[in-house]
Structure 1
Amino acid sequence: MRLYSPDQEALQALSGSNIELMLGVPNEDLQGISISPSIANDWVQNNVVAYPGVIFRHIAVGNEISPVNDNSQYATYVFPAIQNIYNAIASAGLQITVTTSMDTGLLGTSYPPSLGAFSDDVSSYVDPIVSFLAQNGDPLLVNVYPYFSYKDNTGSMDLSYALFTSSSVVVQDPYNNLGYQNLFDAIVDAVYSALDKTGGSNIRIVVSESGWPTAGGIETTVKNALIYNSNMIQHVKNGTPMKSGSLETYVFAMFDENEKSLEVEMHWGIFSPDKQTKYPISFS
């Protein structure tokens, strides 16, 4: 499970459950943590050490921060906050991955996947993080959304390529001869290529968000959400054309969110707000 902030009731509920947790350090907490090791230590003590019955898998220090988008005010805090949380986790004698969650908008080039590269204008933000993760052997969390790529390219992209239902190769990468039957793989491998070019060839990716909305936009139906998420759950067991092996992936989201600003952002849940499942899905 992924929590975007240390909600105390949720942490208490997870204690003893054997559900592994990715816990987020909220963007608004990064400034204090980045400048003060003691604040970082307090955060770890209060939200991690205080819950010995919770299995913490990753600490995600910030979510989808970019120096060139509308949350750019947080960008300078991410790397020092990662360092301080990492040191606090180590000081507590814990072995928990400390990383951050990026979105694919940081890519300047994504097609074909082998040419994937981060934009030049985010290099000062990305490079220290990649170097730190590579040094520690920790993964990078990436939010991967074929839905938005499809929405922006409906005139040139078949829906089957976005939903994992294409029966044949859609994109043939001319530089490494790898074939792509789905957009999800193409996006993930573009990030792998970008990491290779930034000194992060040993970094594995964890897909920290991916899903499909059930209302509010183009092809946003319950049927398509079921198809996408069911296919993704099975597909990631085998990795991507560039990287074989299972790909740790988190389905976004558990519940619909009525306080999001855009209609399409309100309807990503597997569950409705009344806790009823919108469609049957199996993780087995």
Structure 2
Amino acid sequence: MRLYSPNLDVLQALRGSNIELMLGVPNDDLENIATHPAGAMHGCKCDVRFRYIAVGRALQSPSLPLKALSSKNIDQFLILFYRISSETNPIALKLLMEVLWRLWYQKSVGPTAGDFGTSVENATTFNNNLIQDVKSGTPRKPENPIETNIFVMFDEGNKDPEREKHWGLYSPNKQPKYSVIFN
């Protein structure tokens, strides 16, 4: 399950469940996390199975100083997050390095419509190549597929701007937009 930002009610509802969570840290919270990592974890000390932390989203050029500040200090937040998660669920995160080395590429390819250079063909090619690449593992461990995730299942017609409506594998009417080969 993915939350795009912390929601204490949802975190409380997930306590003790076997649902693994990817918790997003919104751009608006990056400065606070980078400068006060302990304060950022307030309220997250609960028995939730965190799988990933997704830090920020689509940083724009005006936030370049913030990017530098965040990348310099975000490790303190991740270490604190690991400690708190380990206290409540020691097997949820086995090794800090395991978490830090997992790369999460959000929106690596463009949507299928709504912007320059976007097309169903480009998204099809990218996602099918991505699946083949992650199945082949890393150069050091080719026998271990890399865990990955496709951004969103369905297009979301209520989003703005236009390009944000077209990230799904399926149209809102539940029809596939293109073929993805998983095997």
Report sequence identity in percent.
40
Write the distance in 1 (CA, Å) between the matches of 2:76 and 2:32.
13
Q: What SS class does the counterpart of residue 73 from structure 2 fall into?
A: helix
**What's 1:35 paired with?**
35
**What's 1:249 paired with?**
148
The answer to whether structure 1 residue 214 and structure 2 residue 112 are counterparts is yes
The answer to whether structure 1 residue 59 and structure 2 residue 53 are counterparts is yes
Output the amino acid matched with 1:72: L
Larger CA Rg, structure 1 vs 2? 1
2:110 and 2:118 in contact (8 A); partners too: no
Could you say if the C-alpha distance between residues 210 and 17 of structure 1 is closer, same or farther in structure 2, counting changes exceeding 3 Å?
farther
Could you say if the C-alpha distance between residues 78 and 65 of structure 1 is closer, same or farther in structure 2, counting changes exceeding 3 Å?
farther
- Unpaired runs of 5+ residues, structure 1, are 98-135, 141-202
Output the amino acid matched with 1:253: V
How many residues end up aligned between the 2 structures? 174
Write the distance in 2 (CA, Å) between the matches of 1:38 and 1:82.
12
**What's 2:159 paired with?**
259
Could you say if the C-alpha distance between residues 86 and 62 of structure 1 is closer, same or farther in structure 2, counting changes exceeding 3 Å?
farther
Q: What SS class does the counterpart of residue 62 from structure 2 fall into?
A: coil
Write the distance in 2 (CA, Å) between the matches of 1:86 and 1:57.
14
**What's 1:44 paired with?**
44
Map 1:6-155 onto structure 2 (within 5 A).
6-7=6-7, 18-45=18-45, 49=46, 52=47, 54-65=48-59, 69-75=61-67, 76-92=69-85, 93=87, 94=89, 136-138=96-98
Write the distance in 2 (CA, Å) between the matches of 1:37 and 1:139.
17
2:153 and 2:170 in contact (8 A); partners too: yes
Q: What SS class does the counterpart of residue 174 from structure 2 fall into?
A: coil
2:21 and 2:49 in contact (8 A); partners too: yes
**How far apart are 1:83 and its partner, in Å?**
0.7
Output the amino acid matched with 1:58: Y
**How far apart are 1:87 and its partner, in Å?**
1.6
Could you say if the C-alpha distance between residues 278 and 212 of structure 1 is closer, same or farther in structure 2, counting changes exceeding 3 Å?
farther
RMSD: 3.9
Within the candidate set 265, 270, 273, 2:169 is matched to 270
**How far apart are 1:241 and its partner, in Å?**
5.8
- Unpaired runs of 5+ residues, structure 2, are none
Deviation string 1:105-125 (CA, Å, 9 cap, x unpaired) is: xxxxxxxxxxxxxxxxxxxxx
Q: What SS class does the counterpart of residue 210 from structure 1 fall into?
A: coil
**How far apart are 1:24 and its partner, in Å?**
1.3
Question: Could you say which structure has the higher strand fraction?
Answer: 1
Could you say if the C-alpha distance between residues 219 and 40 of structure 1 is closer, same or farther in structure 2, counting changes exceeding 3 Å?
closer
2:37 and 2:76 in contact (8 A); partners too: no
Output the amino acid matched with 1:256: D
Output the amino acid matched with 1:56: F
